[in-house]
Amino acid sequence: MPAAALLLLLGAVLSGCSAGASAAGHEPWPGEPQRAAASATPSATPTPRRTPPPTATATPRPTPTVPATPTPAGPPAFDKTAHSVDDAASPWVVVNKSRALSPLDFAPGDLVYPDVTYVNRQPMRQGVATALVAMFQAGKREAGLDFSVQSAYRSFDSQTRVYDEDVAQHGQVYADTDTARPGHSEHQTGLAVDISAVPARCSLDACFGQTPQGEWLAANAWRFGFLLRYPADKVAVTGFTFEPWHFRFVGEALAAELHRTGVTTLEEFFSVPGGTEYR
C-alpha cells in the first residue's frame, strides 16, 4: 500500500476512537467547550393547579321579627267629668254650706225602701238602696255585724223641721255645726244614710266610730260606693263636725278612686268650695 494511503487510513481510525470516547462520557480536555448531554432528562411538565371553585356567597336569611309583647293596658284614667257636681240629681253632686242645691227644694224621683232594719223608716234612691243592702249583708257575713238605718232621705220641709228643732234646743251657732240648713243638706239628695249599730250603741254620736260597726264601715264602705262624708280632721273643709255614722253614696268608681288616692272629701277631690260659713 502506498505510504500516503496508509497515513490517511491511520488518521481516520484515530478520529473515530476519539469521537467514541467523547460520546461515552469522556471528560473534556482542558479548554475544550462543554457539550450538553444528549440524554439530558427533560424537565418535568408542571402539574396544573386546580382552580378552586368560587366560594358560594351565602344569601343571609332574614332574622324573623319577633313581635314585642304588648304591655298590658292599665285601667282607664278616672274621668272627673263623668258626672256633674252641680246637678242636684247627680250621684256626684257636692252640697255644703257654700253650695246649695238647685232648685233649693229639690226632690229625687226614684225613692225606695230597701229591705233592711230601720230606726226611722225613710226612703233613699234606688242605687243607694241596692248598695246598702249589699253592704249590710257583707258586714253580717264577714264580721257577724248587724246594722240599721237611722235616717235617709229628708225633704226640704223635713230638713226645715230638723234644723229648726236643733236651733230651738241648742241655738243657731251650735245647730250650724251639725245640722244642715234646708237646701244645703245631703239628706235632701236621697244619697246620704245615717247608720246605727244593732243592738243600738252610740247612735248619732262620735263614739259610734269606736263600735265594731263603725270601725267596719270606716274600713269597708268604699267597696260598696259609700264615703264617710264628714271625717274628724276635715271639719274646716266640709263645714260639719265628725259624723262617723253619716255615709254618702257616690258610686263604686268614685269611692274606689277616693280610696286609691287617699282623698277623703268631695270638696278637695273636685276642687270646689266648702268651709264652715254659709254663703
Catalytic machinery residues: 243
> d(Cα 69, Cα 46) in Å, to the nearest integer?
66
> d(Cα 215, Cα 245) in Å, to the nearest integer?
10
Q: Which amino acid is at 95?
A: V
Find, among 162, 249, 256, 242, the residue nearest to 202 by Cα.
242
* DSSP-derived secondary structure for 94-108: --SSS---SSTT---
Q: Are 94 and 272 in contact (CB under 8 A)?
A: yes
User: Which residues neighbour 91 within 8 Å (Cβ) at sequence distance 6 or greater?
Assistant: 83, 127, 191, 249, 250, 251, 254
Across 93-199, where does the E strand assignment appear? 111-112, 124-125, 146-151, 192-198
Give φ, ψ of 248 to 5 degrees: -110, 125
